[in-house]
Amino acid sequence: MAPKDIDHDAVLQQFRQQLQQEDLLHDGDSIGTDDRTLSRFLRARNYNLKQAKAMWKACINWRNTAEGVGIDELYRRIDPWDYPERDHVFNCWPMWFHKTDKKGRPLNIHFFGQINMPELYKHISPERHWQTVLVNCESLTREVLPAATQAAGRPVDGTFVIVDLKGFSLSQFWQMKNLARTSFQVSQDYFPETMAQLAIVNAPSSFTTIWSFIKPWLAKETVAKVDVLGTDYQSVLLDLIAAENLPAQLGGSCTTCGADGCDRSNAGPWSEGRRERRERWLRGEGEIGVEVDRAVLSGGVRGTAEEDEEEREERENGSGAAGGKLHGFSLTSTLSRGSSKSAKSKRSSRGSSGNSNLAPGSSTKPIDIPAANGDADEELDASSQSTQASTPGPSTPPLNDITTDLSGLAIESSPSPMEGGLRAEGEGEGEDGTPTTPRKALEAKTPKAVHAAVAAGGAAVSVM
C-alpha cells in the first residue's frame, strides 16, 4: 500500500519531471502519459522514485522490443478481439472481458477447468498464442480501462478478475504452472497495479497444493487482493456485480450478448464504436482507445484505486470483517497473513474468530491454505511492494523449468529451481534494490520455440 506519510502528488510531479528529463516520457506514448498511469508505477514501488523509474525504464525497453517488433507493431498486426484462431483459443482457454462491476471495474473472467493446452496447439502455434496473450494484455490499458473510466465518469484503475476452478485438476495445473508464473511476472513487470481484485470460485480441495506453488510468485500486496471461495459464491459476486452484468455460468442473468454468447461478445463500453476506431487508428488517424475527458482524470477526482486501497486497509485492520462487510469474501485473512512465521503450518478459516473469513450465510466449506515456504514468505515480508515478482526479468523461464514435446503436443513440467520464491542462478539485486536476472544467459540456452511454448500459458497475464 502507498505510504501515508508522504505527499503523493509531489512525488508524482517529481516522477514526471525525472522521466521527461531522462527522455523516458513523451506526449502520445502508447504506454500512457496521464497521472493515473504514472501513479500505477509509483504504487507498485511504494512511491520509491528510484525503483519506480527503474521499473518504467524496463517497461519502455520491453515495449520497444517485445517479440522483436515492439508492442505497438504487434498490436497493429494482431487484433486481440478478432484474429483467425480466436475461437480455438477460447475453446481451450476460456477468458474474456465482460461488462463491469458496480464500481465500474471491467470484469475479466477465466474458466480454468476447460484449459486444454495439447488441443490448443493443434490449432495455433505456441509462439502465435503467446503473441495473442500479449496484445490481449495490452488491450487492457490501451482500450478497456480508458473506456471504463469514461463510462464511469471517474478513474477506473484496475479489473475485477474472476477465476472459476470448477473441474480444474492438479494435472492441468502442473501443465501450466511455469507458463502461469511467467504471465504473472510479465503482468507485474509491464502492466503493474491493473488487477484490483481477484475472486477464485469453485476452489477444489486441491487448491491448497496449487496455492503453495502460486503464492511465492506473487508480491504480498498482490496476495492481499486474492479472495477464495468454494461453490457457494453467487451471492457474494452479486453483491459486487449487477446480475445483468454477470454471465449465467457464474450465477448472473446477462441476456444482452446475443448469439455470440458472453464469452465471444467482449461486451462492455470498450466495444462501442470500436471497429471504426481501430480502422482509423490503423490509418494513422487518432487513437484506438476511447478518449477520456480531461475532467475525469483530473487530480481531484477520486478513482477506484483509492477506494479499493481503503477497503483493503479496513479488512486488514479488522474493521471490515464483521457481518461480512466489504463483500465478505472467504479466506482473505488466511491468504494475506500466511507469510507470518506462525503460519508455517496449515491454517484453517474455521479457526478464525467469528468465522469472519466466510461470506455471511455461506455454506462454503473452508479451505486450509498452508504457508508456501517459510524462507520465501519471510523474503516477501521483508520486500517492498512487488520487489520480488514485478521487477524487470526474463519474458520466459529458463529451459530447465519445462520439458516440451512439440511434436506430440504434450507439455510436462518438472520442479523449477525458482520454486519457493528462491532466485534463479545468477540472479542478484540491482542498485535500485530490485532483483535482476541475466536475461541474455537465460535466452541463450532457451530456443525460440520453447520460449514461445513456455509463455503460451500466459492467458492469465491480464489479471495482475
Domain ranges of the chain: 8-68, 83-463
pLDDT score of 110: 92
Q: What is the Cα–Cα distance from 378 to 410, expressed in whole angstroms? A: 36
Q: What pLDDT is stored for residue 371 in this prediction? A: 34
Report which residue type is found at 329: F
Indicate if the alpha-carbon torsion angle 266, 269, 274, 277 is positive or negative.
negative
How many whole angstroms separate alpha carbon 185 and alpha carbon 183?
5
Residue 243, pLDDT score: 95
Q: Low-confidence residues of the chain, pLDDT below 50? A: 320-464
3-state secondary structure of 161: strand
**C-beta separation of 184 from 387 below 8 A:** no
Find out whether 423 and 415 touch, Cβ atoms under 8 Å.
no
Cα(412)–Cα(347) distance, rounded to whole angstroms?
31
Which residues lie closer than 8 Å to 341 by C-beta, 6 or more apart?
A: 374, 378
* Residue 11 pLDDT: 96
User: What pLDDT was estimated at residue 260?
Assistant: 67
Separation of alpha carbons 116 and 92, rounded Å: 5
In one letter, which amino acid is 147? Answer: A
pLDDT (0 to 100) of residue 259: 66
Enumerate the H helices of 140-260 as residue ranges: 145-152, 170-190, 207-214, 220-223, 234-240
Calculate the CA dihedral of residues 93, 228, 171, 88 and round it to 10 degrees: 0
User: Phi/psi at 96 (nearest 5 deg)?
Assistant: -165, 160
The C-alpha cell at 232 is 457457494
Amino acid at site 258: G
Cell numbers describing residue 383: 520486500
Helices (H), 249-327: 261-265, 274-282, 304-317
Taking the alpha carbons at both ends of the chain, their separation in whole angstroms is 15
Q: Which residues contact 259 (CB under 8 A, 6 or more apart)?
A: none
Q: Report the DSSP pairing between strands 106-111 and 159-164.
A: parallel
CATH number for the region 83-463 comes to 3.40.525.10
Distance CA 196, CA 111 (A): 19
| CB 41, CB 56: distance < 8 Å | yes
pTM greater than 0.85: no
Task: Give the closest residue to 444 by CA, choosing from 419, 426, 430, 432.
Answer: 426
Q: Is 48:384 a contact under the CB 8 Å cutoff?
A: yes
Instruction: Pick one of 3.30.310, 3.40.50, 1.10.8, 1.20.120 as the CATH number of 8-68.
Output: 1.10.8
Provide the pLDDT for residue 197. 93
Q: By the 8 A CB rule, do 280 and 274 touch? A: no
Q: Are the beta carbons of 16 and 38 closer than 8 angstroms?
A: yes
Alpha-carbon span 35 to 33, nearest angstrom: 7
Torsion sign over Cα 425, 431, 432, 438 = negative
CB 290 within 8 A of CB 269: yes
| Closest by CA position to 355, among listed 331, 337, 339, 338 | 331
